[in-house]
Amino acid sequence: MPHPSLGFPPIDVHAGLPEAAARLRTNRERICRVALQAAERLAPGFGERYDEMTLRLFVRDYERHLEQLACALETGNDGYVVNYGEWIVPIYRHRRVAMRDFMALLGGLRDAAAGVLTPDENEVAAALFARWSERLKHHGRLPGDHQGNALIRFFWKGAGIGDDKWI
């Protein structure tokens, strides 16, 4: 929300698609359950990588993701999802969730939300998800999300330096 002392007008909650946001908020519980099932379908082995408690946290997090999506749809401002995506990365890093799995969670939310939105609203939501995913792509290249180059890892480990046989 723009700060009023800077002279910007407040965000108009009727500038975008308020009916779509209302439908998302009304069907919140069902969308969250379906979104987790869709994420498990999109990312093979997703359910095996995380325990029951973490999956419950994902369902709880979906409520906030869905609210941010609803705010973005009703105002027409993609900052709600783009900036939120940037803020949520450290939380998922702390939980040791890879960005490819977070992207699968977003894909599950996209598929689940499509069930309550009209085709025109789905196009707008798809554009929001595309901008959200584009912002998160950078974080998938950070260490911890991929194995990296084996040769480089070999050299940076010291290639056996410190072992008694090399001294």
Residue in 96, 103, 90 with CA at minimum distance from that of residue 134 = 103
Statement: residue 126 has pLDDT above 90 = yes
Distance CA 70, CA 21 (A): 4
If one counts every other C-beta atom within 10 angstroms of the C-beta of residue 26, the result is 11
Residue in 68, 66, 39 with CA at minimum distance from that of residue 55 = 39
**Entry pTM:** 0.78
- The domain 15-166 is placed in CATH, from the list 3.10.20.30, 3.40.50.11540, 1.10.3210.10, 1.10.490.20, at 1.10.490.20
Statement: residue 142 has pLDDT above 90 = no
Phi/psi for 159 (5° steps) reads: 50, 40
pLDDT category at 166 given cuts 50, 70, 90 is very low
Phi/psi for 163 (5° steps) reads: -75, 150
Collapsing DSSP to helix, strand or coil, 55 comes out as helix
Distance CA 11, CA 3 (A): 10
Statement: residue 146 has pLDDT above 90 = no
> Six-digit token pair at 51?
């325990």
Tens-place pLDDT, residues 1-42: 566 667 766 677 777 788 999 999 999 999 999 999 999 999
